[in-house]
Structure 1
């Protein structure tokens, strides 16, 4: 955590983390739709291009001062982890997993962040935080259908494994980013990180075209272009900027706990727009997760870490 925060600043951090979770939940559903026509790396390149264009436009309009080269390198390379590697693995996995299942798996990032913080930053989580996180995770196991195979239908094991790997990579990114969040303007940090990620994705694009049956692929309709651009802006530009803002006000552990809201939003949106249904058990698990996250958000800073 950058420093102890209370009152309005902490509330802004909580709101920013919640909105970031909403953006990620909605964007996962949009990405699932786009993957029906585009291979993963091609989709990643187009999404990142839309996000990077918007971010640098905002930086230019705001005339945000730039950091020195050494400072830029200190946070820009993290873009290789996320959105670079994390979203590459995530999109490949998402092709074989339901959107609702994907966001549920991604919610384990909150627990992974606690583990990564303990290892990398030697931040010991408080007892109440651990207890509520376990309650939230228990709710997610119900919502994911781990105890009812019929609720987990449509999720390819390889896809599930790739999304878990992507989530672990994202957790390491969050912990490391919490150490650099105060070094520059949040939008500037995200712009540099996503520029690095875009270069990484572009280097992989020729291989993606060679492996894809249809070869080079682009959106075939105005509607699909809209989905790709909207998902890129939501998932990368907006969500990452909000999350970086949250990390300036609350600890990585607390900010990570709000990622448990991603499946709540994602499942609801997948139900509304993709027709993915929820069983009563899944609805119960979602409610348990939501209640636990709300309680985590009300913890005092000393109780969270």
Structure 2
């Protein structure tokens, strides 16, 4: 085996590992955020999390000398952070006020499909029948995992508007993935760490403006009065959910197709329910175990094709 082939296999393997770590961070951070939301309102929590994330990312970037060059192109890259975590979260928040968490969960399962469709149309990424089959298995697994909440589904005029807003947020998240894939693939001078820091700084500015303007309602919170344990949980969840998760994700996007990366997103609920089972002692149903097995099998199948 040539050195070039060995290098390619190593790069693909590292990308797959980074993608799995990213999904694990998002899934486990969901459990952490759920615990923190018991003491901190949503926008306050998001602001703390993003502030913690960008502080962590910029610190690591400065220590490792991976800071970006300050030019107009860099500022344009920061605009992708407005898509996610910016608009993706804001529209999601607005939608959740009008609809149920179950509706939101089901709509969220469309993100991999949207990413694959956009990648196929605009990036001309090849979509094989085998890949579509694995994607179908993975999405079926996601639906089985959230199946215990399906009896809570509600549909009315207000719910429809909420569902539409959540779909817009999901579309923004999918668009973020495709654009970020183009950036990390075309600009090799910019490290994934630097890009994550730039993007989340843009997202933090947007979220801060929304919070200050009271667009989602004015939350009242005595931050100095928060328990130190809650502060640590909020800060840690921000580093895990935003800094580490997006950093790993951008590392993976440099080496694997956006459509393939989309399939790995279905691992998030697997780690989420696993974390809830281990740390919050939430019980899993048989269908959830079957769903998790389907997702892991589908991702394993795609991973084997990456070698």
For this structure pair, what is the TM-score category when the shorter chain's length is used for normalisation? 0.7 to 0.9
Deviation string 1:192-249 (CA, Å, 9 cap, x unpaired) is 111111111110112449824x624537211111111011000111010101000111
1:177 aligns with 2:183: no
Check whether the contact 2:86–2:203 (CA below 8 A) recurs between aligned residues.
yes
What TM-score does the superposition give when structure 1 sets the normalisation length?
0.85
Taking a change above 3 Å as real, the CA distance of residues 156 and 220 of structure 1, as seen in their structure-2 partners, is farther
Choose which of 135, 138, 143 in structure 1 pairs with 2:137: 135
Between the aligned partners of 2:280 and 2:22, the Cα distance in structure 1 is 21
2:15 is aligned to 13
2:200 is aligned to 194
Taking a change above 3 Å as real, the CA distance of residues 210 and 298 of structure 1, as seen in their structure-2 partners, is closer
Equivalent residue pairs, number: 292
After superposition, residues 257-272 of structure 1 pair within 5 angstroms as 257-272=263-278
Following TM superposition, by how much is the alpha carbon of 1:289 offset from its aligned partner in structure 2, in angstroms? Answer: 1.2
1:297 aligns with 2:306: no
Deviation string 1:49-88 (CA, Å, 9 cap, x unpaired) is 0001111111111122522512202321100001111133
Deviation string 1:96-116 (CA, Å, 9 cap, x unpaired) is 866x99777645422221012
Taking a change above 3 Å as real, the CA distance of residues 272 and 90 of structure 1, as seen in their structure-2 partners, is farther
- Structure 1 stretch displaced more, 273-282 or 100-109: 100-109
After superposition, residues 161-172 of structure 1 pair within 5 angstroms as 163-172=166-175
Choose which of 226, 229, 250 in structure 2 pairs with 1:220: 226
Taking a change above 3 Å as real, the CA distance of residues 116 and 190 of structure 1, as seen in their structure-2 partners, is same
Choose which of 244, 251, 261 in structure 2 pairs with 1:255: 261
Provide structure 1 residue ranges, at least 5 long, that are not aligned to the other structure: none
Check whether the contact 1:103–1:267 (CA below 8 A) recurs between aligned residues.
no
Taking a change above 3 Å as real, the CA distance of residues 37 and 23 of structure 1, as seen in their structure-2 partners, is same
Check whether the contact 2:40–2:221 (CA below 8 A) recurs between aligned residues.
no
Q: For the aligned residues, what is the CA RMSD?
A: 2.8
Between the aligned partners of 1:14 and 1:30, the Cα distance in structure 2 is 24
Following TM superposition, by how much is the alpha carbon of 1:179 offset from its aligned partner in structure 2, in angstroms? Answer: 0.5
Check whether the contact 1:18–1:258 (CA below 8 A) recurs between aligned residues.
yes
